[in-house]
Structures are given as structure tokens and as C-alpha cells.
Structure 1
Amino acid sequence: MKLNLSPAAIQWFKNEMELQKGDMVKFFIQIYGSSPVQKGYSLGFTKDNEPIDIGVQYEADGIVFYVEESDLWFFDGHHLNVDYNEEKDELEYTYEGVSPQKR
């Protein structure tokens, strides 16, 4: 599994969460909602500088975006691409070969 963020998504996170170099953002699994890869589960995120066991990460501008090893099952072998749709003013999650999910 790979984690990728577009420059627009990185800027959105920096603006909305007031992130600075050295900060960390964890993508985690929520037991409600839906996604193209797991019915009944959705993806959330939070600022969390105390990871337990990083399974995959992406670093940009000194900020680390990551998923814990224990949450990798959610992606079922898919790569996660995070983008920002300026027109809709929302993040878009795209799973390799699967349609986008919006947050």
C-alpha cells in the first residue's frame, strides 16, 4: 500500500489544521460511514504526533502523513491518493482502481 497526497491536499491540511514542520497527521479507520473498499467503515484523520507503529507514510514540507500498521487491512491492497477539490472545497480520497470518496 502507498499513501500519496497532492500539493493541493497538503496545502489544505496546512491551512485547516495549522500544521508546521514536525507535525504528524494520522489517517484512521472509523466504524461508521462507507468507502469503496470497506462497507460500513470510513476514513478519518487527526493530528497525532505519537504514532504507535507506522505502516505507511508520506512526508511533505516536514509534515508526516501516516497510517498505523493495525489499520492497513482497511485498504485491502489499494493505494490511497488524497487530493483537494477546490471547486467543492473538500478532500477527495481515491483508492487505486476505485471511485473517489469525499469527506
Structure 2
Amino acid sequence: MKMKITVTDKASEWFRNEMGMTGRGIRFFGKVYGKTPVHEGFSLGMTPDDHPRDPVVTEKKDDVTYYITEGDQWFFVGYDLTIDYDPVTDGPTYIYQDNGELDH
């Protein structure tokens, strides 16, 4: 899996200030129900989790580890994930970028 996670400075600030995540970890996963720009019927979930089990991709920024585990990689195959901050919703927003992994 060649996927990567990018966390913007504003998103990092939100996770640290609003969720108290300094020195901790956040796991991203696909969950049933909802919709993303790349999946119908599934949405992106996140949860604080300080003990990654079988991470396939990690990104550490400002002493917070963002990651996806092996069991959730299906949701992200073919995409890089950028986590940004949306001032309108005052929370994170997720941008999926085709990384060419599915190209043959």
C-alpha cells in the first residue's frame, strides 16, 4: 500500500486544542453508513487510540500519531488522505487524492 496521510498545520492545531491529542494517537477507519467523495454507503471514522495494532500507514505531526491499520486499509486503497481544518464546521475535513495505486 503506497498511501500517505498529510495533516495540515490548522488541522494539527485543532486536534491538539479541541481534542487534547498531544502525545496521543488517532486511528482513521471506514464505517458503514454515510458517504465520502470516493465511497457510497461508507463514511470516514476516527477515534483516539494510543496503541496502534498493525498500522499500514502513519504520520506523526506535532507529537500526535495519525494512522490507519491493516484491517481498515480497504477503505483507503488508491487514495492519499489529507486532513485539513474547516472553519465553517470548526472541525476536520478530509480530502481524498488519487495516488495511482489502482492504475494498471
TM-score by length of 1: 0.85
- Distance in 2 between the 1:25 and 1:57 partners? 10
Counterpart CA distance in 1 for 2:62 and 2:89 is: 25
Partner of 1:82: 83
Residue type of the alignment partner of 2:36: S
Shift of 1:92: 1.3
Bigger strand fraction: 2
Q: Provide, for residues 10-59 of structure 1, a one-character-per-residue CA deviation record: whole Å limited to 9, x for no partner.
A: 111111111122x1111111111111222111101111012210011110
- Structure 1 counterpart of 2:12, from 10, 13, 20: 10
- Unpaired runs of 5+ in structure 1? 98-103
Kindly indicate whether the alpha-carbon contact (under 8 Å) linking 1:30 and 1:41 is maintained by their aligned counterparts in 2.
Answer: yes
Q: Which runs of 5+ in 2 are unaligned?
A: 99-104
Give identity over the alignment, percent: 39
Is residue 37–residue 74 contact of structure 1 (8 Å, CA) maintained in 2? no
Distance in 2, matches of 1:35 and 1:87, equals: 18
**Which residue in the other structure is 1:68 paired with?**
69
| SS of equivalent residue, structure 1 residue 79 | strand
